[in-house]
Copies of this chain bind each other. A is one copy, B any other.
Amino acid sequence: MVKISQNLIRRMPKYMRVMGELQEAGITRVSSAELGRILGFTASQIRQDFSCFGEFGLQGYGYNVEHLREEIGKILGTDRGYTAVIVGCGSIGQALINNFNFVDHGIDLIAGFDVNPERIGTVMNHVPILDISEMGKFIKAHNVTVAVLAVPKAVALKTANDLIEYGIDAFWNFTNVDVVPPYSNVIVENVHLSDSLLVLSYQKANNE
Q: How far is the CB of A52 from chain B (nearest CB, A)?
A: 13
For the complex formed by this chain, how many copies does it contain in all? 2
A17 at interface (Cβ–Cβ under 8 A)? yes
Contacts of A104 in B (CB 8 A): 194
| CB contact between A146 and one of B9, B12, B176, B200 (< 8 Å): that residue | B200
Give the distance in Å from the alpha carbon of A92 to the alpha carbon of B17 in the complex. 20
Does the CB pair B82–A91 fall under 8 Å? no
Interface bracket on A: 35 or more
Digitize A166-208: 1 where CB-to-B-CB distance is under 8 Å, 0 elsewhere: 0001111000100001110101010111111111111111110
Does the CB pair A189–B182 fall under 8 Å? no
Give the distance in Å from the alpha carbon of A53 to the alpha carbon of B10 in the complex. 28
Give the distance in Å from the alpha carbon of A77 to the alpha carbon of B198 in the complex. 8
Binding stretch for chain B, among A63-71, A94-102, A128-136:
A94-102
Does the CB pair A201–B91 fall under 8 Å? no
| CB contact between A95 and one of B17, B80, B94, B196 (< 8 Å): that residue | B94
